[in-house]
Amino acid sequence: MNREKVGFIGLGIMGKPMAKNLIKAGFNLIVYDIRNEPVNELVMFGAERANSPKEVAERSDIIITMLPDGPDVEKVVCGPNGLIEGLKRGSIVIDMSSISPTIARKIAKEVEKRGGEMLDAPVSGSEPSAIEGTLAIMVGGKKEIFDKCLPLFNAMGKTITYVGESGAGQVTKLCNQIIVALNIIALSEAFVLAVKAGLKPEEVFQAIRGGLAGSVVMERKVPMIIRRNFNPGFKIKLHQKDLRNVILFAIEHNVPLPFTSLALQVLNTLVNEGKGELDHSAIVHFFESLAKIEVKSEKV
């Protein structure tokens, strides 16, 4: 597996550290991004440069994409000068973006028409997890292709799970994003209430983190909130996109999601207020503005 050429397209907050971890693990990487800066950085780190998605496909056996949304993946894979134009028979495309399962299945069919194979393998975890190589990766597609690509996934993640046929990875990720969004909203409401009642947020955090209310979301996001550190590990606008995909997919399957719909409205409001580039822990701003209070440590 390490001798095969691996292409990587999309070197953003998540993609760049993921690509670096593949290089550290000994994979030969060919990279492409619409921005020169991260490409230059990866080349200095040991990768080779490509000038288009088509060229990545021509020079690679396995191609990973890590892009903002479904239309971006469609353009990179199926558009002019896209992966499909350079795809070799037997090549594998792994989309690790978070997109609509419907779009994922559509793209997979196009890849298969050209003699390739495709996995949808979205990730859970923000920038620190990408840097540490501890992402949770949920994978849909053919089991035998998943098994072949497992060494790649192991270089980028800690929990790698095969969840079913094409599109299953994306469905699982949508479920994940519902839970994370509602967790952050619950934390925001709770800590706004605590501070409004005169308590110190850091003390409330210590009191409840070891009980049933404790969670990975709490461990990651509450320290950011009380230190007022909203540098993006995962941007509000990306979580907004994910919940929009959740609602559209739920409509296709006639599944009512009342609380997820409310969560999307909270994110829509924050994006309209110009906060889309902040980390999704900044969801707390919505509730702080309602209560006229700020959740922060006295040490800040």
Catalytic residues: 173
Q: In terms of C-beta density within 10 A (0-12 exposed, 13-18 middle, 19 or more buried), how is residue 28 classed?
A: middle
Whether the Cβ atoms of residue 84 and residue 78 lie closer than 8 Å to each other: yes
Please name every residue paired with 6 in a beta bridge, in sequence order, or none if there are none: 29, 62
Instruction: Describe the chain by its helix, strand, coil percentages, rounded to 5.
Output: 55, 15, 30
Instruction: Please provide residue 16's backbone torsions phi and psi, each rounded to the nearest 5 degrees.
Output: -60, -50
Closest CA to 170 of 101, 124, 239, 109: 101
**CA 139/CA 136 separation, integer angstroms:** 10
Q: Are 145 and 139 within 8 A, CB to CB? A: no
Which helix or strand (DSSP H or E) is residue 266 part of? Answer: helix 258-272
H-helix or E-strand containing 118?
Answer: strand 117-120
Amino acid letter at 23?
Answer: I
d(CA 269, CA 276): 9
Contact in structure between 124 and 176 (CB atoms under 8 Å): yes
Q: Residue 231, Cβ neighbours under 10 Å: how many?
A: 11
Amino acid identity, position 159: T
